[in-house]
């Protein structure tokens, strides 16, 4: 059981080390400019489930950015952009 716990801890440590590095390499990373572009696109969307989902993801991305959680911010921003495309 201890080996499984240590293994899970090692996997989590690697994931936390890799995700921010990968997010930094992505072209659509978490930045104020990208959040602003996404919000501007959201304003033009018709009201509906896709817009509501995208707004929630943008809000989550902003919270993550303020907490310096860049990997989470990039993930939420990508989800928001994906929801915009599902108009």
Quick check: helix, strand or coil at residue 69?
A: coil
Q: Give the predicted TM-score (pTM) of the model.
A: 0.64
Q: Is the pLDDT of residue 6 over 70?
A: no
Q: Residue range 25-33: average pLDDT?
A: 70
* 21: its two tokens: 């590095």
| pLDDT one-digit tens code per residue, 40-85 | 988 988 999 999 999 999 999 999 999 999 999 999 999 998 887 7
pLDDT value at residue 27:
46
Tokens matching residue 62: 């902003």
* 3-class state of residue 67 by DSSP: coil
Q: Coil, strand or helix: which one is 81?
A: helix
């Amino acid at each position: 059981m201890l080996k499984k716990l240590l293994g899970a801890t090692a996997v989590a440590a690697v994931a936390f080390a890799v995700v921010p590095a990968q997010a930094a390499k992505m072209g659509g990373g978490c930045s104020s400019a990208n959040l602003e572009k996404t919000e501007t696109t959201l304003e033009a969307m018709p009201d509906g489930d896709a817009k509501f989902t995208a707004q929630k993801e943008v809000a989550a991305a902003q919270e993550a950015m303020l907490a310096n959680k860049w990997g989470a911010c990039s993930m939420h921003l990508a989800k928001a952009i994906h929801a915009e495309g599902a108009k």
